[in-house]
């Protein structure tokens, strides 16, 4: 190695003699050459005075390494002004592989440090690259060599590397002992789904939980998936679980160790409990690596990542090995699996959590959490982990959920028997909590195949080109065997190929989010945004002519209103985006279109009076569906009422307007403040909407009236709005007044929907906004139809008439019940009629 002078010498120095000749052996700390340097010292001048004098001092320079001198870069008499290379020494061992502080090749202690040590030898091999051992480190050179070997081998076998996450990607694990009981109990409704759940016990799992049982559900189709994939990829496991956990899982999913071998990296070796780093496994380059994981943030949205939708079999358990990670941003439920009140989750999760490296807050968060060099912090984190596991064992979240479900079933049964007699055994069927219908792996296999073939197409193309040139040059000498001619320079980069594939999918799509991300989130760096961006989506803040899609988490936001003015913009639910991202397809927006409230239909370029009449006709029906979405935030309803009261107080303040004008002004104000309204956090926004919908000044009389003749509501509302439509000539102001009237009818609807919604919400919650919304392609549906549908969809699941848990306002509930019963009966009759003929 080339020896350099340290910067700590007194420059300039003058070399006075070289002590060694090329070919000589040197020991560490042996003198290499003499030099003199000049410095100022304080001396006595013999008279008691102190004088500063410049003096020259001769000194030896000592070698910092052992070895044989190859050649000198300096010579006698040289004056050296700055650190330069002085001599090349051939070391017998470059200490490129070190094990536990020892050089693994020569056995020297690498941690020794003397006065002469510039950098300790242990710094020469800083890279950990084995899966299951942290004591072994290698130098960059060695790492490159090992990796190139591996790459040659993979290319020859036409394989890529695939880093596989365990939890929620290919398996789902829980420690809830309920699972064990259900597996034993043949009568349990979940028994069937639990058929292939495997269990194992981790004994050494820390104090307080001796022998905790883990229940592992493999993602459907896992075995064949791994089998197929392993022909195209060399598989690695990278998990946040402990080593013992990872080993157990590996022996479940790969009993012969043919797929994964020893290539298992757990959190014991990862070095960080919060982030995964591809360089831990592939320190030099990651051209041939693909990752599958259910979380993008832990990988910092690496371009090698294929994000899969999390496998959530044990409902509500989540990832048992990532409890200290930043919370996932839940962005809407999966299609028909669990249509629970997803928007409500937003504000629960809250805050800006994930993002990429560039985002300071996230980075800080990751830094504070990822105390790789802070053993105390690591300990704390794993303690916290233990605690969550213990809680899960004690709290049995699954059991609680099933109980809820059962309770709900019971109440439905009672309501069923009272209304109509369906076949008893279907009614008797207990709903089961766990559903085994995941399809992700099939799609995932396709995507991996796509990446694989694309990669090797590219590689073959490049190689053919390279070969062609050479063949032309060497003429006829093309005996190079295909296998051996693996040129690493021609290897394409997965980091280029995957984004290329992905960008094609949603390229050119410009998205504006509305009601999707909580307040304060950086829309550019939120989880979903980063994910979408990797597919070529452009995220915009404001709606412009360039916008192609408005992704709305809720209905009736200011942006939805604004977007309706641009005919080009498709207003879709979050579902559309998520499906596109998981399926790697640009899906047809049709089924995902958000039913826009007619009131929100902004003035397009040419508003026709007919259209308006129509919309006024339909208003109440759409309000019914719309309201469901606003009131999803069950938890906040009480709070909302408080807010309503307080806001009502201010609104009632005596100004000289009458009700209508006031409402109109209110509306105008709302439109004016629309953009602010938009960025509010979900809960706040929903209050705001509610507040807007319910000007307390204008309702009471109307409400009572509506309640009285709720049974034939269609006519009532029809006449209601029609009369208004009659005296609306089409001017903006009057239109707003009209709208405000409709809002007042909306008040009652709000109460209704919140009642039914809450009843449904405690249970399966079938009637969610996006779902019922997506049923309809267009918002212009006749009222009867809507009512019928709504009633039909609520009918089997929701227990609205009497819900014991509900402790809402008693009176309100009774009124609701009366109303619902009426509507329900008629709907049911129609239903039966439809069925019969």
Q: How far apart are CA 309 and CA 324, in angstroms?
A: 20
* In the complex, minimum distance from the CB of residue 304 to another protein, in angstroms, rounded to a whole number: 21
69 counts as binding another protein under rule CB under 8 A: no
Can you spell out the DSSP letters for 22-41?
Answer: TT-EE-TT-EEEEEEEEEEE
Q: In the structure encoding, which two tokens stand for residue 506, read together? A: 């949603």
**From 25, 43, 109, 410, residue interacting with another protein (rule: CB under 8 A):** 109
**Residue choice 146, 540, 665, 818 for contact with another protein (CB under 8 A):** 146
Nearer to another protein, 139 or 679 (CB): 139
- Residues that bind another protein (rule: CB under 8 A) add up to a total of 31
How many CA within 13 A on the CB side of residue 438?
A: 26
Nearer to another protein by C-beta: 378 or 511?
378
CB atoms near residue 12 (< 10 Å): 14
CA dihedral 298, 304, 308, 310 (to 10 degrees): -10
The correct pick among 12, 180, 221, 261 for binding another protein (CB under 8 A) is: 261
Residue 833 interacts with another protein (CB under 8 A): yes or no: no
Cβ pair 219, 170 in contact under 8 A: yes
Residues 307 and 169: their CA atoms lie apart, in Å, by 9
Helix, strand or coil for residue 523? coil
Structure token digits, residue 174: 């829980």
Choice from 153, 542, 565, 645 touching another protein (CB under 8 A): 153
Helix 810-836 × helix 783-797 angle, to 10° = 100
Span near another protein by CB under 8 A; candidates 133-141, 404-412, 646-654, 698-706: 133-141
Q: Minimum Å distance from CB 284 to another protein?
A: 13
Give, rounded to a whole angstrom, the gap between the first and last alpha carbons of the chain.
Answer: 92
**CB-nearer residue toward another protein: 130 or 697:** 130
Helices and strands in the chain, H and E counts: 26, 23
Contact region with another protein (CB under 8 A), list: 42-50, 128-136, 302-310, 527-535: 128-136
| Closest approach of another protein to the CB of residue 285, in Å | 16
Is residue 103 near another protein by the rule CB under 8 A?
yes
H/E stretch holding 251 reads helix 243-253
The answer to whether residue 251 forms part of the interface with another protein (CB under 8 A) is: no
Nearer to another protein, 255 or 729 (CB): 255
Can residue 289 be called a binding residue for another protein (CB under 8 A)?
A: no
Residue 550 is inside which H or E element, if any?
strand 549-552
Q: Under 8 Å CB-to-CB from 299, ≥6 apart: which residues?
A: 275, 276, 278, 291, 293, 305
- Smaller CB distance to another protein: residue 153 or 461? 153
Selected range binding another protein among 6-14, 80-88, 257-265, 678-686, rule: CB under 8 A: 257-265
What the block records as the tokens of 76 is 């006698």
Residue number, 281 or 577, with CB nearest to another protein = 281
3-state DSSP of 552-599: ECCCCCHHHHHHCCCCCCEEEEHHHHHHHHHHCCCCCCHHHECCCCHH
Under DSSP, the state recorded for 167 is: B
Shortest distance, position 89 Cβ to another protein, whole Å: 19
Catalytic residue (choose from 66, 121, 167, 632): 167
* Token pair 């989540």: residue: 318
CB contact set of 231 (below 8 Å; sequence gap of 6+): 159
Q: Which of 257, 279, 403, 465 binds another protein (CB under 8 A)?
A: 257
Instruction: Please confirm, yes or no, whether 167 is among the known catalytic residues.
Output: yes
By the rule CB under 8 A, 130 interacts with another protein = yes
258 contributes a contact to another protein by CB under 8 A: yes
Please state the closest distance from residue 28 (CB atom) to another protein, in A. 16
> Is residue 150 involved in binding another protein (CB under 8 A)?
yes
Near another protein by CB under 8 A: residue from 100, 316, 469, 520: 100
Q: Annotated catalytic residue: which of 165, 205, 293, 797?
A: 165
Q: Is 149 in the site for another protein (CB under 8 A)?
A: yes
Which residues are CB-contacts of 261 (< 8 A; sequence separation ≥ 6)?
A: none
Residue closer to another protein by CB (options 150, 209) is 150
285 binds another protein (CB under 8 A): no
Residues in 13-42 at the binding interface with another protein, rule: CB under 8 A: none
Give CA–CA dist 227/160, Å, rounded: 15
Q: How far is the CB of 124 from another protein (least distance, A)?
A: 14
For residue 419 the two structure tokens come to 């209304």
Q: Are strands 212-218 and 198-202 parallel, antiparallel or unpaired?
A: antiparallel
| Residue 141 interacting with another protein (CB under 8 A) | no
CB of 243 to another protein, least distance (A): 13
Rounded to whole angstroms, how far apart are CA atoms 557 and 512? 12
Pick the closer one to another protein by CB: 101 or 822.
Answer: 101
How many C-beta neighbours within 10 Å does residue 443 have? 15
**Tokens describing residue 522:** 């950086």
Question: CB of residue 149 vs another protein: minimum separation in angstroms?
Answer: 6
Pairing of strands 264-265, 233-238: parallel
Determine if 136 is a binding residue for another protein (CB under 8 A): yes
By CB under 8 A, which span of 205-213, 238-246, 251-259, 666-674 interacts with another protein? 251-259
Considering only residues 3, 129, 664, 737, which one is a binding residue for another protein as defined by CB under 8 A? 129
In the complex, the smallest distance separating the C-beta of residue 20 from another protein, rounded to whole angstroms, is: 27
642 included as an active-site residue: no
Q: Which CA distances in Å does 119 have to 8, 107, 112?
A: 13, 19, 10
Residues 302, 320: Cα–Cα separation, whole Å: 23
Q: Write the CA distances from 415 to 411, 796, 802, integer angstroms.
A: 6, 9, 9
Among 9, 28, 101, 665, binds another protein (CB under 8 A): 101
Contact 6, 23 (CB under 8 A): no
Told to check if 281 binds another protein by CB under 8 A, we report no
Identify the three-state secondary structure at position 161: strand
Q: Given the complex with another protein, which of 101 and 796 has the nearer CB atom?
A: 101
Q: In the complex with another protein, which residue's Cβ is closer, 44 or 107?
A: 107
Which residue, 129 or 497, is less far from another protein as judged by CB? 129
Which of 74, 87, 104, 216 is in the footprint of another protein by CB under 8 A?
A: 104
Give the interface segment with another protein, choosing from 131-139, 340-348, 629-637, 684-692 (CB under 8 A): 131-139
DSSP conformational letter for 364: H
Reported residue count of the chain is: 837
Q: Which residues bind another protein (CB under 8 A)?
A: 97, 99-109, 111, 129-130, 132-133, 135-136, 138, 142, 146, 149-150, 153, 157, 256-258, 261-262
Active site residues: 165, 167
């Amino acid at each position: 190695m080339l020896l350099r002078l340290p910067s700590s010498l007194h420059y300039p120095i003058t070399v006075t003699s070289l002590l060694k000749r090329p070919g000589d052996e040197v020991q560490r700390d042996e003198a290499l050459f003499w030099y003199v340097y000049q410095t100022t010292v304080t001396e006595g001048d013999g008279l008691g005075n102190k004088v500063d004098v410049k003096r020259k001092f001769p000194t030896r320079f000592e070698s910092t390494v052992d070895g044989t001198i190859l050649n000198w870069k300096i010579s006698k008499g040289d004056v050296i002004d700055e650190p330069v290379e002085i001599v090349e020494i051939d070391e017998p061992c470059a200490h490129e592989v070190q094990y536990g502080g020892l050089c693994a090749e020569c056995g020297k202690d690498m941690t020794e440090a003397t006065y002469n040590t510039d950098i300790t030898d242990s710094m020469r091999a800083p890279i950990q690259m084995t899966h299951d051992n942290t004591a072994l480190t290698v130098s960059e050179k060695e790492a490159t060599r090992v990796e190139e070997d591996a790459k040659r081998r993979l290319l020859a076998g036409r394989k890529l590397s695939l880093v596989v996450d365990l939890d929620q990607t290919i398996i789902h694990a829980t420690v809830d002992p309920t699972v064990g009981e259900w597996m034993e109990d043949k009568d349990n409704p979940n028994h069937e789904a639990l058929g292939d759940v495997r269990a194992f016990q981790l004994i050494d799992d820390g104090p307080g939980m001796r022998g905790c049982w883990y229940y592992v559900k493999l993602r459907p189709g896992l075995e064949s998936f791994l089998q197929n994939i392993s022909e195209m990829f060399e598989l690695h496991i990278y998990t946040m679980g402990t080593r013992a956990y990872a080993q157990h899982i590996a022996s479940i999913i790969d009993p012969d160790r043919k797929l994964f071998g020893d290539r298992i990296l757990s959190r014991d070796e990862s070095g960080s409990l919060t982030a995964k780093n591809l360089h831990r496994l592939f320190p030099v380059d990651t051209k041939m690596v693909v990752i599958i994981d259910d979380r993008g943030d832990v990988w910092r949205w690496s371009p090698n990542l294929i994000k899969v939708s999390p496998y959530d079999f044990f409902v509500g358990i989540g990832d048992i090995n990532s409890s200290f990670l930043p919370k996932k941003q839940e962005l809407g439920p999966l299609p028909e699996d669990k249509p629970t009140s997803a928007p409500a989750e937003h504000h629960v999760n809250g805050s800006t959590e994930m993002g990429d490296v560039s985002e300071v807050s996230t980075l800080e968060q990751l830094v504070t959490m990822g105390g790789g060099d802070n053993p105390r912090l690591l300990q704390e984190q794993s303690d916290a982990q233990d605690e969550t596991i213990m809680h899960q064992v004690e709290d049995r979240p699954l059991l609680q959920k099933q109980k809820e479900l059962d309770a709900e079933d019971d109440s439905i049964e009672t309501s069923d028997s009272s209304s109509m007699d369906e076949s008893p055994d279907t009614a008797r069927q207990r709903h089961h909590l766990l559903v085994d219908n995941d399809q992700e792996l099939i799609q995932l296999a396709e995507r991996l195949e796509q990446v694989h073939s694309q990669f090797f197409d590219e590689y073959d193309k490049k190689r053919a080109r390279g070969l062609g040139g050479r063949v032309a040059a060497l003429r006829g000498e093309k005996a190079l065997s295909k296998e051996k001619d693996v040129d690493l320079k021609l290897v394409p980069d997965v980091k280029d190929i995957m984004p290329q594939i992905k960008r094609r999918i949603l390229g050119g799509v410009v998205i504006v989010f509305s009601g999707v991300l909580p307040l304060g989130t950086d829309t550019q760096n939120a989880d979903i945004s980063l994910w979408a961006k990797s597919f070529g989506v452009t995220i915009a803040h404001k709606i412009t002519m360039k916008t192609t899609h408005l992704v709305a988490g809720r209905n009736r936001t200011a942006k939805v209103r604004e977007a309706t003015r641009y005919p080009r913009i498709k207003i879709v639910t979050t579902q559309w985006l998520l499906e596109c991202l998981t399926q790697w397809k640009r899906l047809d927006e049709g089924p995902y279109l958000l039913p826009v409230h007619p009131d929100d239909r902004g003035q397009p370029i040419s508003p026709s009076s007919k259209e308006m009449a129509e919309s006024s006709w339909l208003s109440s029906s759409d309000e019914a569906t719309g309201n469901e979405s606003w009131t999803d935030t069950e938890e906040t309803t009480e709070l909302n009422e408080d807010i309503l009261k307080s806001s009502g107080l201010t609104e009632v303040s005596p100004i000289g307007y009458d009700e209508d004008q006031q409402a109109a002004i209110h509306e105008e104000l709302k439109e004016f403040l629309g953009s602010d309204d938009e960025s509010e956090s979900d809960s706040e926004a929903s209050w705001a909407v509610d507040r807007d919908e319910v000007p307390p000044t204008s309702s009471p009389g109307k409400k009572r009236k509506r309640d009285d003749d709720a049974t034939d509501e269609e006519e009532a509302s029809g006449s209601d709005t029609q009369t208004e439509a009659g005296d609306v000539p089409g001017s903006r102001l009057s239109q707003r007044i009209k709208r405000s009237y409709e809002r007042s009818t909306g008040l009652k609807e709000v109460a209704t929907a919140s009642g039914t919604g809450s009843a449904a919400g405690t249970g399966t919650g079938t009637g969610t906004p996006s779902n019922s919304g997506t049923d309809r392609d267009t918002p212009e549906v006749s009222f009867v139809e809507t009512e019928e549908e709504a009633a039909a969809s609520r009918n089997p699941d929701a227990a609205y008439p009497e819900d014991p848990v509900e402790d809402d306002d008693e009176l309100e509930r009774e009124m609701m019940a009366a109303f619902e019963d009426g509507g329900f009966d008629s709907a049911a009759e129609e239903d039966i009629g439809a069925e019969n003929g």
